[in-house]
Amino acid sequence: MLLARASSDLEDLATELRASGHRVISEALDLADPESIAPGLDRLCDQGGSPDVVVNNAGMAYTGPLLDMALDQWQTLIQLNLTAVFQVCRSVVPRMRANGGGLIINVSSHAAHNAFPDWGAYCVSKAALASFSRCLATEERTHAIRVSTLTLGAVNTPLWDSETVDSSFDRRAMLDRERAADALLYLAQQPATQVVEDLTLMPAAGAL
Protein backbone atom coordinates (compact mmCIF):
# COMPACT_ATOMS: atom_id res chain seq x y z
CA MET A 1 0.00 0.00 0.00
CA LEU A 2 1.32 3.41 -0.99
CA LEU A 3 0.37 6.84 0.28
CA ALA A 4 1.78 10.18 -0.86
CA ARG A 5 0.65 13.71 -1.61
CA ALA A 6 1.35 13.67 -5.36
CA SER A 7 -0.77 11.24 -7.37
CA SER A 8 1.70 11.35 -10.29
CA ASP A 9 4.55 10.07 -8.09
CA LEU A 10 2.29 7.34 -6.73
CA GLU A 11 1.29 6.17 -10.19
CA ASP A 12 4.88 6.03 -11.40
CA LEU A 13 5.94 3.88 -8.46
CA ALA A 14 2.79 1.74 -8.58
CA THR A 15 3.36 1.03 -12.28
CA GLU A 16 6.95 0.01 -11.58
CA LEU A 17 5.95 -2.30 -8.74
CA ARG A 18 3.09 -3.88 -10.66
CA ALA A 19 5.47 -4.64 -13.52
CA SER A 20 7.47 -6.67 -10.97
CA GLY A 21 4.39 -8.70 -10.08
CA HIS A 22 3.30 -6.88 -6.93
CA ARG A 23 -0.28 -5.99 -6.03
CA VAL A 24 -0.35 -2.27 -5.27
CA ILE A 25 -3.03 -0.13 -3.65
CA SER A 26 -2.40 3.61 -3.53
CA GLU A 27 -4.04 6.74 -2.17
CA ALA A 28 -3.12 10.37 -2.82
CA LEU A 29 -3.40 12.15 0.51
CA ASP A 30 -2.09 15.44 1.87
CA LEU A 31 -1.06 14.79 5.47
CA ALA A 32 -0.97 18.54 6.08
CA ASP A 33 -4.78 18.41 5.91
CA PRO A 34 -5.87 16.80 9.20
CA GLU A 35 -9.48 16.28 8.08
CA SER A 36 -8.50 14.09 5.12
CA ILE A 37 -6.25 11.62 6.93
CA ALA A 38 -8.69 9.20 8.57
CA PRO A 39 -11.02 8.91 5.52
CA GLY A 40 -8.06 8.44 3.18
CA LEU A 41 -6.50 5.73 5.33
CA ASP A 42 -9.84 3.98 5.69
CA ARG A 43 -10.16 3.85 1.90
CA LEU A 44 -6.62 2.52 1.57
CA CYS A 45 -6.94 -0.16 4.26
CA ASP A 46 -10.43 -1.21 3.14
CA GLN A 47 -8.85 -2.17 -0.19
CA GLY A 48 -5.49 -3.47 1.01
CA GLY A 49 -6.22 -4.84 4.46
CA SER A 50 -4.27 -4.29 7.67
CA PRO A 51 -0.62 -3.34 7.01
CA ASP A 52 2.14 -5.43 8.56
CA VAL A 53 4.56 -2.49 8.46
CA VAL A 54 3.75 1.24 8.45
CA VAL A 55 6.44 3.79 7.57
CA ASN A 56 5.76 7.39 8.60
CA ASN A 57 8.10 9.45 6.44
CA ALA A 58 6.28 12.68 5.55
CA GLY A 59 7.80 15.89 6.82
CA MET A 60 8.91 19.44 6.21
CA ALA A 61 11.41 21.92 7.63
CA TYR A 62 11.56 25.64 8.23
CA THR A 63 14.66 27.74 8.74
CA GLY A 64 14.73 31.05 10.53
CA PRO A 65 14.68 32.42 14.09
CA LEU A 66 12.26 30.41 16.19
CA LEU A 67 10.15 33.32 17.42
CA ASP A 68 10.02 34.97 13.98
CA MET A 69 8.10 32.00 12.60
CA ALA A 70 4.51 32.76 11.64
CA LEU A 71 1.89 30.85 13.61
CA ASP A 72 0.38 29.24 10.51
CA GLN A 73 3.82 27.95 9.45
CA TRP A 74 4.41 26.55 12.95
CA GLN A 75 1.04 24.80 12.89
CA THR A 76 1.65 23.33 9.42
CA LEU A 77 5.07 22.00 10.43
CA ILE A 78 3.79 20.46 13.67
CA GLN A 79 0.83 18.96 11.79
CA LEU A 80 3.00 17.30 9.18
CA ASN A 81 5.96 16.25 11.33
CA LEU A 82 4.08 15.14 14.45
CA THR A 83 0.29 15.28 14.49
CA ALA A 84 -0.09 13.44 11.18
CA VAL A 85 1.94 10.55 12.61
CA PHE A 86 -0.45 10.42 15.57
CA GLN A 87 -3.41 10.45 13.17
CA VAL A 88 -1.97 7.72 10.97
CA CYS A 89 -1.29 5.53 14.00
CA ARG A 90 -4.74 6.18 15.43
CA SER A 91 -6.24 4.92 12.16
CA VAL A 92 -4.07 1.88 11.50
CA VAL A 93 -3.16 0.56 14.96
CA PRO A 94 -6.67 -0.83 15.71
CA ARG A 95 -6.45 -2.78 12.45
CA MET A 96 -2.98 -4.04 13.38
CA ARG A 97 -4.21 -5.13 16.81
CA ALA A 98 -7.04 -7.09 15.20
CA ASN A 99 -4.55 -8.69 12.81
CA GLY A 100 -2.22 -9.85 15.59
CA GLY A 101 0.41 -7.11 15.57
CA GLY A 102 2.79 -5.31 13.29
CA LEU A 103 5.58 -2.75 13.06
CA ILE A 104 5.49 1.03 12.90
CA ILE A 105 8.61 2.86 11.71
CA ASN A 106 8.79 6.59 12.36
CA VAL A 107 11.45 8.48 10.42
CA SER A 108 13.08 11.09 12.63
CA SER A 109 16.21 13.24 12.67
CA HIS A 110 19.27 13.82 14.80
CA ALA A 111 17.65 17.22 15.36
CA ALA A 112 15.46 15.39 17.89
CA HIS A 113 18.46 15.25 20.23
CA ASN A 114 20.20 18.52 19.34
CA ALA A 115 19.47 22.23 19.14
CA PHE A 116 20.47 24.00 15.93
CA PRO A 117 20.14 27.76 15.39
CA ASP A 118 17.34 28.64 12.95
CA TRP A 119 16.01 25.06 13.04
CA GLY A 120 14.07 25.40 16.30
CA ALA A 121 10.62 24.36 15.10
CA TYR A 122 12.03 21.35 13.27
CA CYS A 123 14.03 20.29 16.34
CA VAL A 124 10.94 20.61 18.53
CA SER A 125 8.81 18.53 16.18
CA LYS A 126 11.37 15.74 15.94
CA ALA A 127 12.00 15.67 19.69
CA ALA A 128 8.26 15.29 20.22
CA LEU A 129 8.14 12.54 17.60
CA ALA A 130 10.87 10.62 19.43
CA SER A 131 8.87 10.85 22.67
CA PHE A 132 5.66 9.83 20.87
CA SER A 133 7.41 6.76 19.47
CA ARG A 134 8.62 5.65 22.90
CA CYS A 135 5.21 6.14 24.47
CA LEU A 136 3.43 4.30 21.65
CA ALA A 137 5.86 1.40 21.89
CA THR A 138 5.21 1.06 25.62
CA GLU A 139 1.43 1.14 25.26
CA GLU A 140 1.18 -1.20 22.27
CA ARG A 141 3.70 -3.84 23.32
CA THR A 142 0.97 -6.05 24.78
CA HIS A 143 -0.75 -5.99 21.37
CA ALA A 144 2.41 -7.30 19.62
CA ILE A 145 2.88 -3.95 17.89
CA ARG A 146 6.51 -2.85 17.73
CA VAL A 147 7.73 0.71 17.12
CA SER A 148 11.07 1.62 15.58
CA THR A 149 12.57 5.05 14.96
CA LEU A 150 14.99 5.66 12.12
CA THR A 151 17.07 8.67 13.14
CA LEU A 152 18.80 10.27 10.19
CA GLY A 153 21.38 12.93 9.63
CA ALA A 154 21.06 15.13 6.56
CA VAL A 155 19.72 13.20 3.55
CA ASN A 156 19.92 14.56 0.01
CA THR A 157 16.22 14.94 -0.80
CA PRO A 158 14.00 17.62 -2.38
CA LEU A 159 13.39 19.02 1.12
CA TRP A 160 16.48 21.18 0.58
CA ASP A 161 14.83 22.77 -2.47
CA SER A 162 11.67 23.79 -0.61
CA GLU A 163 10.75 27.44 -0.15
CA THR A 164 10.78 27.17 3.65
CA VAL A 165 14.42 26.00 3.85
CA ASP A 166 17.44 28.24 3.37
CA SER A 167 20.65 26.26 3.73
CA SER A 168 24.15 26.24 2.29
CA PHE A 169 24.96 22.67 3.34
CA ASP A 170 27.14 20.63 1.00
CA ARG A 171 24.61 18.18 -0.39
CA ARG A 172 27.40 15.96 -1.74
CA ALA A 173 28.32 15.13 1.88
CA MET A 174 24.76 14.10 2.79
CA LEU A 175 23.37 10.58 2.99
CA ASP A 176 21.78 9.44 -0.23
CA ARG A 177 18.19 8.28 -0.33
CA GLU A 178 19.11 4.72 -1.27
CA ARG A 179 21.07 4.23 1.96
CA ALA A 180 18.18 5.61 4.00
CA ALA A 181 15.85 3.21 2.16
CA ASP A 182 18.20 0.33 2.95
CA ALA A 183 17.99 1.23 6.64
CA LEU A 184 14.19 1.23 6.48
CA LEU A 185 14.25 -2.21 4.84
CA TYR A 186 16.57 -3.50 7.57
CA LEU A 187 14.14 -2.37 10.26
CA ALA A 188 11.14 -3.78 8.40
CA GLN A 189 12.79 -7.20 8.07
CA GLN A 190 13.39 -7.71 11.78
CA PRO A 191 11.59 -10.80 13.09
CA ALA A 192 8.50 -10.32 15.22
CA THR A 193 10.42 -11.53 18.28
CA GLN A 194 12.72 -8.49 18.34
CA VAL A 195 12.73 -4.78 17.65
CA VAL A 196 15.39 -2.22 16.85
CA GLU A 197 14.05 0.65 18.90
CA ASP A 198 16.20 3.37 17.35
CA LEU A 199 18.63 3.14 14.45
CA THR A 200 20.80 6.20 13.82
CA LEU A 201 22.42 6.78 10.43
CA MET A 202 24.67 9.80 9.95
CA PRO A 203 26.84 11.09 7.12
CA ALA A 204 30.53 10.31 7.69
CA ALA A 205 31.09 14.08 7.72
CA GLY A 206 28.87 14.32 10.81
CA ALA A 207 26.27 17.00 11.41
CA LEU A 208 26.48 19.38 8.44
pLDDT of residue 183: 97
Q: Has residue 73 been placed in a domain?
A: yes
Instruction: Give the chain's domain count.
Output: 1
CATH number at residue 130: 3.40.50.720
d(CA 207, CA 196): 23
31 neighbors 5 (Cβ within 8 angstroms): yes
Cβ atoms within 10 Å, residue 78: 15
Sequence-distant (≥ 6) Cβ neighbours of residue 27 within 8 angstroms: 1, 2, 3, 10, 40, 41, 43, 44
How many residues can be counted in the chain? 208
Q: What is the pLDDT of residues 101-148, one digit of tens each?
A: 999 999 999 999 999 999 999 999 999 999 999 999 999 999 999 999
- Reported as type and span, the H/E element at residue 2 is strand 2-4
150 neighbors 107 (Cβ within 8 angstroms): yes
Active site residue 122: yes
Q: Has residue 84 been placed in a domain?
A: yes
Instruction: Name the residue range of residue 64's domain.
Output: 51-201
Q: Has residue 67 been placed in a domain?
A: yes
Catalytic residue among 122, 126, 128, 129, which?
122
164 neighbors 68 (Cβ within 8 angstroms): no
At residue 121's C-alpha, the angle toward residues 115 and 125, to 5°, is 90
Percentage of the chain beyond pLDDT 70 is 100
pLDDT of residue 208: 65
